[in-house]
Amino acid sequence: MATGIVDLPQFTWRPLPVKQPAIVPSMMIAHTAVSSASSLYAYFNGPSAGVEAHCYIRADGTAEQYVGAEMQADANGGANRWFDSRAGVWRGAFSCESWDNGNPATPWTQAQINTLADVAHWLHDRYGVPLTLCSTPTSPGVGWHAMWPAPNPWSPGNHTCPGSVRIAQFRNQLMPLIERRSVGRIMAVTPSLTEIENYVAKSYQAAGNTDARGQRYWVRTAGAASDPFVVFAEMDHALGLA
Ligand SMILES: [Zn+2]
């Protein structure tokens, strides 16, 4: 039984007959397919010569998954699989191809953006993938194929995928959606914002500061914008406490 089958309602499992090394899914990387096809199964099962993405998201937001999330796929250069020596595990990116009607200047539909946000949260829930942009090419999080300047470690050919239109959408539509959905979860799955604020205020004062108000404001801003556990660590770091 394959592992890492995305069990979102809009997903269909269509496994490719590939055997590749195991990974701990640690990123979501978005691509554009330059394709009007409704499926990339046939392409990945031959003509692509061993290159494949984990999934393909159609215009209507429905998706096919070709490789389990815990197995390497080969769409992201150096992010396909890398060794995290600190954690002692092989990490890898979960790659999302997307329909663009054969033209990467076609914006993602809202349904595609919704599915990308769903996948990011699915990866977060199952594997702890942070709901923040990757800060380095080997830092867990979310991003897009051409995220880094040449020589791009995720794109040996240094191509521009998913294109400037979709990169702008990633920043201006997808990330805010991912973050808005996180906000509702802060109260459900993590310490409440008040608890976080109290912790930071205490820590801030313990570090010799007397005015916690500025820090509280900072916390609220950051807490509304990303994974609270990540924010928590960042706060400690910003305060010089960790
Ligand atoms: Zn790509």
pLDDT digits (tens, 9 = 90+) for 26-37: 999 999 999 999
Q: CA–CA separation, 4 vs 219, rounded Å?
A: 34
Give me the chain's average pLDDT, please.
81
When divided into structural domains, the chain yields a total of 2
Strand, helix or coil for residue 124: helix
State the pTM of this model: 0.77
In a domain, 3, yes or no: no
Q: CA–CA separation, 131 vs 108, rounded Å?
A: 20
Say if residue 179 is in the same domain as residue 69.
yes
Q: CA–CA separation, 33 vs 204, rounded Å?
A: 48
CB atoms within 10 A of CB 166: 29
* Ligand 1 midpoint to CA 127 (Å): 23
For the chain, residues with pLDDT lower than 70 are 1, 182-242
Say if residue 51 is in the same domain as residue 141.
yes
pLDDT of residue 44: 95
* Ligand 1 midpoint to CA 31 (Å): 4
pLDDT of residue 174: 95
pLDDT of residue 124: 87
* Ligand 1 midpoint to CA 76 (Å): 7
* Ligand 1 midpoint to CA 162 (Å): 6
pLDDT of residue 64: 98
Range of the domain at 203: 192-238
* Ligand 1 midpoint to CA 49 (Å): 15
Say if residue 80 is in the same domain as residue 93.
yes
Say if residue 77 is in the same domain as residue 130.
yes
* Ligand 1 midpoint to CA 215 (Å): 39
Say if residue 49 is in the same domain as residue 114.
yes
CB 118 within 8 A of CB 10: yes
The CATH number assigned to the domain holding 131 equals 3.40.80.10
Q: CA–CA separation, 115 vs 105, rounded Å?
A: 19
Say if residue 173 is in the same domain as residue 212.
no
Say if residue 179 is in the same domain as residue 229.
no
Strand, helix or coil for residue 121: helix
Question: Which residues sit with Cβ closer than 5 angstroms to ligand 1, an ion?
Answer: 31, 145, 161
